[in-house]
Amino acid sequence: MANVTWKGVYPALLTPFKQDDAVDFEVYQKNLQAQLDAGVDGIILGGSLGEASSLSNEEKRHLLLYSKEHIPQDFPVIINIAEQTTKAAIQLAQDSEKNGADGLMLLPPMRYYADSKETLEYFKAIASSTSLPIMIYNNPVDYKIHVTLDMFEAMLPYKNIQAVKESTRDISNVTRMINRFGDRFHILCGVDTLAMESLCMGAHGWVAGLVDAFPQETVAIYRLVKAGMIDEALKIYRWFLPLLELDIHPKLVQYIKLAATHTGIGSTHVRAPRLPLEGEELKRVTTIIETALANRPELPDYLNLKHKKDATRA
């Protein structure tokens, strides 16, 4: 759909829970509004390293429908697909399209270590089952399946496969993708600690985690880089890095929820088997967050910056 540009900041949103384990739509709304106010370019529901595995399809549908009711009409909502079978993935893709999703983030098959042919057939089957635009999630570090450049070559005929969430941890892969495919695939960095580096190398966007607690700082970095204001972005990014490192830990959900609680737009409740933070770990992460808040930088008027190409013409 035309409203998904695959450019800018796309938060992988937290799913807040109440004490009784139900989805907390009141807290969700508060966080969603903070993202919109900060200037994000779309949202992603049910992130795979987050709590997608603990949400039922019915809960994902409710989150989608609720989100569509509380955002501007053309604002992109992306549904994450992380399923174990092709049939289940196709069903979720089709249900998401029917319920108003604007795009899909698609992982390789879960649990089963599919080879390249199996992974490609999985991607192709899902792409053929929906008209929604698709972003392939390439994260061999966490999911063990590497979507290679040759595999992207094989996906060229599938016009709705339009983007990649680049999480290989190899910053050179941004350049390899551009060198081989030009602008055929939009590239969104999927690792918070490599975000500015990826944007400087030509990535089109950022699928972000700590944005859930710090939306303004995240969008400011993106906008400043794209306006060519590298020094200004770098000052914020250096301040941000200790927080961004919370995104690359198995307990990223607990860590980011704690950070969002400290900034007033989240809660710490998680679903088992995840457990709340405690003891030294809680103290350590709290110290990182409180230190950052005590030194929070003053942001420029980042929402009114011109893109570098526009600035050149001005």
Cβ–Cβ under 8 Å, residues 255 and 210 = no
Could you report how far apart the first and last alpha carbons of the chain are, in Å? 31
| Better pLDDT: 50 or 70 | 70
Question: Is residue 207 marked as binding?
Answer: yes
Helix%, strand%, coil% for the chain, nearest 5:
50, 10, 40
pLDDT, one tens digit per residue, over 224-254 is 999 999 999 999 999 999 999 999 999 999 9
> Is 44:78 a contact under the CB 8 Å cutoff?
yes
Domains by residue range for the chain, with CATH: 8-305 (3.20.20.70)
Q: Is the pLDDT of residue 110 over 90?
A: no
| Cis peptide, bond prior to residue 108, ω within 30 of zero | no
Model confidence at 46, pLDDT cuts 50, 70, 90, reads confident
Q: Would you please indicate which residues are annotated as catalytic (active-site) residues?
A: 137, 165
CA distance 26 to 300: 30
Backbone angles phi, psi at 7, to 5 degrees: -130, 145
Task: Tokens for 114, please give them.
Answer: 């599919």
In sequence order, which ranges of 39-85 are alpha helices (DSSP H)?
Answer: 57-69
Taking the model in full, what pTM does it have? 0.94
Q: Is 181 helix (H, G, I), strand (E, B) or coil?
A: helix
